[in-house]
Amino acid sequence: SSNGKTFSLLSPKTHEVVAKVFEASEKDVDRAVASAKAAQPAWAALTVEERSSCFKKLATLVREHNDELARLEALSMGKPVSTFIDGHAFSWLFDYYSESGYDVQGTSSLNMPGFVNLTFRQPYGVVGVIIPWNVPLLFFAKKAAPALAVGNTVVLKSSEKAPLAASITYPAREYLLTFKQSARIGHFIKEAGFPPGVINIVTGFGNVSGSVLSHHMDVRALSFTGSTRTGRLIQQASSKSNLKPVFLELGGKSPAIVFEDADLEAAAQATQYSVRTNSGQTCMATSRVYVQDTIAEKFIALFKEKFGPVRVGDPTLKETNHGPQADKVQYENVLKYLEIGKKDGKLIMGGNPDSRENGYFVAPTIFTDTPEDSVIMREEVFGPVVNINIFKTEEEVMAKANNTEYGLYAAVFTKNIDRAMRFAKGLEAGTVGVNCTSPTTGKDTPFGGYKGSGLGREGLHHSLDHFLETKSFEFDSGFVSRYKILSAVAKCFAVPGPCRYCAHIGAECGVAARPKQRPYYHVSEEEYRCSMQILRHFVQKEELNLETLRSIAKDLQIDTTNTQQQTQRRDSKTTDDSPGSEDAVQNDSEADTEEIADLHEQLGCLMQDSLGEYRYVGAYSEIAFNSAVCTMKDPPSPEVEDSKIIPPPKENFPPQKPERTKLLYEAASPTQPYLPPREYCDYYVARFFEEVHCIYWLYPIEQFHARLDDTYVTGGGTATSSWLCSLYAIFALGAASNANSQNSLLNDFISPETRQIPDAKTSEGYLALAKALVPAVHDEADIDSIRALAILSVALLTFRFRITSYLYMGTAMQIAFSLGFQHDKSPTNQSPVTKQINRRIWWTLYIMDQEVASRCGSPCVSDERSLRIQTPLPSEQVLNPGTNTPLGCLSVSTSLNRLKREIIQTIYPERSSDSRTISFSKVTSYVSSLQRWQTEMPSHLKWGVPVAPTHRRSIGILHLNYWNAMMLLSQPFLLYLVIKGSTLNHPKRTWFEKLGEICIDAARNAVVVIKTMSTDQSISSLITFDCVCTLKVIMILALGLAKSESQELRRDIEACVSMLENMEQVGFCRSVVQELPTRLAQLGFKSESNDTDVKVDFAQQATLSNLWPEFDP
């Protein structure tokens, strides 16, 4: 459990606590689903034999531990060990399904001339399973085994009443120590060799974990057994989320009909066993028995004789055959129905709690002559209670038997075959037994309910169908002969192309127009995109077959494992051996320092902008820090006035201010605004969503594309100024380098013919169009205005308009204030989805506000010291963030951003009330908080865990943000140590040394992330953060070299410079690459330049500390 929350499991026999069970939170369910989603492609790719070995090992383990599992069930819900066969049933099912994979086959048809038509049966992906408490192991196997056998992964929720056999618990008493961590099935699953994430088990209550699972957008199918009321709620959840297919086995009020020609001895035995087994706690118990009047007296006597004698007692003892009700709730519910039965019918046996024991025991109870409209005749009792009524004619009893909202099971006892067939057809139930009754069912026949007893059928063959989707595939068998003709035509008429399929198989394409790219949210589309990325990188000349793809996947897995091990070594060093841990920094008499405040006062704080004005730059800005590092060789004197001036870049500074474009109407959107050709537009938008929107979420992707389509249909004449401003800002980012871009999306969206005619607008032109709309955007002041100003702020920052970016972001925050976003205020008629959109936008703005402000070193607008924020984080079950953003990323990013704000307020105080003194204990507590944030991160977001290609960038940026926060906390101590270390006394110097080591270690960990992102091609120049963080790493590593010579640090600096040079040279990144050789030369690195590029020579040089006489080693 992510929050450590547990609940107590009480023995229904002794009422004592037998275990503490972890209670899953919403976050835990999200993590389980994410784990299942990540594991599913590899699991589905295994052969039937490879999956089979896991099934058979699990079946063997459970069979061998049947007695242990029986004891766990007896302790948790009171089922007598003498009646427990669930472990053997579990094993039989897993054994069966271990070899059922080859039963999954599609169909073929030749009915269309010239075509071969096929159907494929494919797994859904992630399947949710919610099992009941009365027979948990059996339902575990009935639902999970077929789902797994066909390639799905499973997230299973066990019942809070009986979690011991299937879930993770901790025993509460000494006599349970042999069941330590009684996750018996969970333990067996791991031992059987199932890969991590294939089977995920969560425990807890239905209103939390069950609800989240039912609503979850990444759960593609769900199977549930339980009450009809809960089944309705699950159906509603499906309709409100992703319309996942739901398979329900629900309650029952099953009738048994005994005719005068029946074998009364056998009928009495079968019907009483049906009601008494499992203390009456079965959904298909025949709790309504109808007896023909001519044999009623004899049958009732036989029934009482067989039903009454039970051995009540401790369910863990073999002599007991009648256990207690599962818990207090079930017990009191049965007692309620007993009182109703006494009032409406005639009690002939039982009717009271069993006085021989102290547990929740109910004696077998019989009522007769109960009216058909009585509550006890219409509702499920779920206890050892039966109603026996008398009938005269077939018509009468058929009507009475069907007069119920349930229809799970029915039974008829007769020797008349014609009558048996009439009743088998006429009874409204999913299963009808003739001369037998529940729990007897056919192993190879489907089981399920009519009416309120459920949807769908389970069974050896039918359960496989539950967890498979059907895909139709039409193959034009005449394609090969026509292909030659089409190829010739294509050569003559220069048909545009190729289409995506032809491009990937290396064939010539004769398709006249490329299909329009649209977003999809189905798992199969994600699988397609992942496959396409693998093909782009690796399969250029090889034949596309299963053997080739398996070989590539195996190589990727090996590379991922090596990278993960390397990162784990680095993380281990940071977590365990880093001087940032509280144990590593020894307390000393000097518990605080003012030196950092003195350092901040001596740093430059004024920098000239594009208008020639000097703008203030705060101490926590990278600009001030980088300038201080680069001027260490000859730092200015505090007495000199110009010491406050930060030198501007030498290359192309200041940038030219975009000209303001004259629109047709200044106060509103133009009637015919400029729109680029659609292929260029699709390319710009795709880059924005892959590289920017995955970090700063502002639009539901399907809503965005629908509006974009409408804009192109209408020519933009009806578009609002805010919407056009957003588009122009997106186009400005996308158009930054379209002429020579190496981005793989360029070939996907823009055909070679279209590229011959470049877009009429450049990035500067689009920025001018966007800025011209800003007055009208201010006037609209709605949610689209927030989006427009936020995106424009990102674009302006990318193109080095730092102050304007800061101002626009502040305006976006103020519009959000005016709409009440910070207090989660909205009209009562606002839809739940819109509310979640507003919440997600608010927290995106909150993060963007801090990040834009940090570039200027200026205050945030959303300062929680003066602003009360009441808005909760958005629900990702109602609003899925989309394919480019992993679940939980916004929540984790927000918590890190809040921690970063606290660090800035402490280490870089701006307010007059803030203390100049910095407590070392406070600094180390921040180090611990950051490390705790990393440790508690959801598993699917951790570094080194295999992730979907579309999530690589957002997860990489998340971890860069973490190491950046660690550097932000410790960098002033390292800087002071280098430039003024000689002024520190010994105790303080020890602190500064330790924090300096933390800073360097954080920078080196950031290099690992940056290298991986560069290799994955998930690093981007469209936002400044990637470049800013890389530049800061270089500066910190340079400080590390100032302390002591290190070839590793030199190699890391060289790698960072190389990665900056290999990034798209646009905007801020281009400026940094041009300026970097000069700055590195200031630090003592030799540089060489030519007409085409700039290279830095990292050959062995004298230790940098020798160049700075003020440095005291």
Contact 476, 114 (CB under 8 A): yes
Q: Is 394 marked active-site?
A: no
Structure tokens at 624: 């001030």
- Sign of the CA dihedral with 375 first, then 378, 384, and 388 last: positive
Beta strands in 591-724 (DSSP E): 592-593, 606-608, 614-616
> Phi first, then psi: what are they for 610, rounded to 5°?
-70, -15
Contact 628, 1036 (CB under 8 A): no
Strands 409-413 and 431-434, by their bridges, are parallel
Alpha carbon dihedral 557, 563, 564, 566, in 10-degree steps, equals 150
- Using CA atoms, how far apart are residues 818 and 285, in angstroms rounded to an integer? 61
Helical spans, DSSP H, in 46-174: 48-64, 66-77, 86-97, 136-149
Structure tokens at 777: 């955007």
Active-site pick, 23, 54, 160, 283: 283
- Using CA atoms, how far apart are residues 38 and 301, in angstroms rounded to an integer? 60
Contact 786, 816 (CB under 8 A): yes
> Phi first, then psi: what are they for 258, rounded to 5°?
-115, 115
- Using CA atoms, how far apart are residues 1074 and 1051, in angstroms rounded to an integer? 20
- Which residues are paired to 432 by β-bridges? 410
Backbone φ/ψ region at 181: left (φ over 0), alpha (ψ -120 to 50), beta: left
- Using CA atoms, how far apart are residues 654 and 966, in angstroms rounded to an integer? 32
Tell which residue, 933, 939, 996, has the closest CA to residue 967.
996
Task: Give long-range contacts, CB 8 A cutoff, 24+ apart: 889-892.
Answer: 889/941, 889/954, 889/955, 889/958, 890/697, 890/840, 890/843, 890/844, 892/933, 892/937, 892/938, 892/941, 892/958
- Using CA atoms, how far apart are residues 900 and 810, in angstroms rounded to an integer? 19
Contact 254, 438 (CB under 8 A): yes
Beta strands in 807-924 (DSSP E): 918-919
Residue 918 DSSP code: E
Residue 864 DSSP code: T
Contact 198, 35 (CB under 8 A): no
396-430 burial, b at 16+ Cβ within 10 Å, e below that, comes to ebbebbbebebbbbbbbbbeeeebbeebeebbbbb
- Using CA atoms, how far apart are residues 781 and 722, in angstroms rounded to an integer? 9
Structure tokens at 558: 């090996």
Alpha carbon dihedral 265, 268, 273, 276, in 10-degree steps, equals -140
Structure tokens at 867: 């602003």
Q: Is 283 marked active-site?
A: yes
Contact 979, 635 (CB under 8 A): yes
- Using CA atoms, how far apart are residues 862 and 855, in angstroms rounded to an integer? 16
Active-site pick, 26, 249, 679, 993: 249
Tell me the HSE value of 740 on the side-chain side, using a 13 A CA sphere.
4
Tell which residue, 70, 207, 97, has the closest CA to residue 154.
97
Structure tokens at 303: 């029934």
- Using CA atoms, how far apart are residues 568 and 944, in angstroms rounded to an integer? 8
Catalytic residues: 249, 283
